[in-house]
Amino acid sequence: MVVDNRNSKLHTQKKLTLKSITDTMKKILIISLLWIFCDSVYAAESAKSTFSTKPKLVIGIVVDQMRADFIYKYWPKYGNGGFKRLVNQGFFFKDSHYNYVPTYTGPGHASIYTGTTPAVHGIIANNWFDKAGNKKIYCTDDLEVHAVGGSEKSGQMSPKNMLSTTIGDQLKLSNNSQSKVIGIALKDRGAILPAGHLANAAYWFDSVTGNWISSSYYMAQLPDWVNAFNRKALAKTYLAQPWQTLLPVADYSESLSDDNNFERSFHGETRPVFPHDLPKLAAANGNFDLIKTTPFGNTLTKDFAIETIQAEKLGKHPVTDMLTVSFSATDYVGHQFAPNSVEVEDTYLRLDHDLADLLKFLDTWVGKEQVLLFLTADHGAVESPSYLASLKIPAGNVKEKEINAALKKLLLDKYGEDLLLDYSNQQVFFDPKKLAGLKLSKAEVTNTVADFLMTFNGVVATVSKEALNNSFFNAGINRYIQLGYNPLRSGDLMVSYAPGWIDSDKSTGTTHGSAYSYDTHVPLLWYGWKISAGQSLQAVEITDIASTLALLLDIQAPNGSFGKFLPLLIKK
C-alpha cells in the first residue's frame, strides 16, 4: 500500500513556520523590551547629567587692569597653555563691558560676583566719603575685627560694607554651607569682596610681614598649612632676583621703547628701564610692597592658589567648591608704567606662564571636565595721557586737589561759608546742615557749582543727585553714572571727564575709572565643565557672570543680581 506523505509534510512545514514566527516575535519582543529598558536608563542618566551633575570646583579669575585688547596684542608671544588654551578650548565673549562708573578695583570685583552694580551692592569706589560718619572710608574697612597672621592695620578687613550677596554666598546657602568658598589676592579687596559674606576664608598679602593673612571675621588663627606656606618666604625669594625681561628687550615690538618719558621709575632708579634690580630697590620701595609692582606678585598668587586648592581639598568634596583668584600685580605695574610699556607686556607674558601652570595642575587635580572656570578683569586702563598728548591726541590730567580747593574758595566767596564736605571720585558732597542753616536753595548751589566745574579743562558734563533720583537714563554716560550711583552713599553732583583725561596729579603712568571703552571693555573667557569651544560678538555685561553661574549650578542668583544668562555653548 502506498502512503501519501504530502499532507504530513505540509502539516510539519506549517508547524515549523508557526514556530519560527513565534520565535521571531519573541525575539522582537525581547529586543523591544531591551530597547525600552536601555532608553529609560539612558534618559535617566541624561536627566541625572543635565539636572544633578555639577562641577567639582568653580574658579573665578580676575586679572586686575586687563583690557580686552591685551588678548590680541600679545597673542603671538603667548604660549599654548595659558591664554591661548582658554581661548581655543573655551568660550570667548569678545564684547564684554562694565555698565557703570567708576570702573575701579573694589566695585569691579563686587559687581562680578554679586551680579549687580554699585547702585545695589554699595561698593561705590575703593575709598569714598562716608556721609554718615563725615570721613573717608575704605571699601573693606572693619574696625570691629582684627588681623590674623599679620600687621593689625592690614588685617582689619571684612565684606561688611557690601550690601548684597555673592554667587559664593548663594552656593553655600544652597547646601547649608557644605561647599567651601575661599578668596585670595594680593589686594585685600580683591580677595574679600569676591568671596562674599559667608566665605570659609579670604587671604591677602601683608606688605609689612610678607605673609598671607586674614582677619578674625573668618577665623581665630591661620590654618597650619598657611603658616607652613608663609615659612617658605617665597616673597623674599622672588625679590632676591633682578626683574629681567622674559625675552630679549628688542623682541617686545608690541610696546614702546623701554626708555621713554611716560613711565614712572622705582624709587632709587634714574630711569624706568630693565633690568630692575629688585634686591637693591626693595628698601626704598616698601620692602615686601615692591613685589606687587612686579610680575612675581602674580606668580606668588598662583603658588598660593595651588597650595590653597590642595590644602583645603577644593574639588574633592561631594558638593561644589569655589575659589576666587585675583591677579593684582598687573594693576600695580600698569599704574606705574602704563599700558604701552615693556614692563606691562613682560608681566602679561609671565602671567600667561602662571595660568598655564594653574591649568596644568587642575588637569591632574580634578580634570578639565570637573572644573568650571571663568577669567575676566575688574576694569581696563587708558593710555598714558602724556603719551596721547605727545601724539597730538586730546588728553590730560584733572587734578582733584586743585578742584577741591577751588570749590571751597568759590563757595566761601559767594555764600560766606564753606559748604563743601568733599570732592572725590568725581563727586561733590555738600554740607546739608550748613545749607539748611543759611536757608540756601540746594538746587541753586548745585547749579552754581556745576557751571563752575565746567570751566575746568577735561570736565565735559555734570549730573545732579536729584536728576539721578527722578529720571531714568537708558543710554550714554548718564546710564553708567546712574548704575554706579547709590543714594545712601554717593554724592550730590556727579562729574564726567573727557576721553583721555584722568584724575591724577602725575604726568607718568596711567589710571582708570571712566565710562569709556578703554576702561569698560574687558575679556570674558569660560572654560571647562560643559563649556564648548566658541566665540561670540554679542555685547554682554559683567553683571551677567553671576546670573550665568547660578543657572549652571542650579542655585539662586545673588539677592541683588539683575544680570541675564550668557549665551554660552553648553555641552549636553
Catalytic residue ranges: 105
**Residue 477 contacts residue 353 (beta carbons within 8 Å):** no
* Omega before residue 194 within 30° of 0, cis: no
What are the CA-CA distances from residue 425 to residues 128, 230, 395, 404, 551 (Å)? 7, 36, 19, 11, 35
Other C-beta atoms lying within 10 Å of the C-beta of residue 233: 13
CA distances from 413 to 410, 433, 455, 476 (A): 5, 19, 17, 35
Question: Which residues sit opposite 326 in a β-bridge?
Answer: 62, 185
* Pair 557, 546: CB distance under 8 Å: yes
Strand ranges of the sheet holding 427-430, from the earlier edge strand across to the other edge: 420-424, 427-430, 493-497, 459-464
d(CA 2, CA 87): 90
Alpha-carbon gap, residue 163 to 122, rounded angstroms: 6
Please name the residue that has the C-alpha cell 606687587: 292
| Alpha-carbon gap, residue 268 to 423, rounded angstroms | 33
Q: Rounded to an integer, what is the distance from CA 326 to the centroid of its chain?
A: 7
Contact 345, 493 (CB under 8 A): no
Asked if 266 and 285 count as a contact pair (C-beta separation under 8 A), the reply is yes
3-class secondary structure, 153: helix
In angstroms, the CA 541 to CA 557 distance is 16
Contact 360, 47 (CB under 8 A): no
Q: Report whether 201 contacts 331 (CB < 8 A).
A: no
- Dig out the grid coordinates for 471 from the structure: 529720571
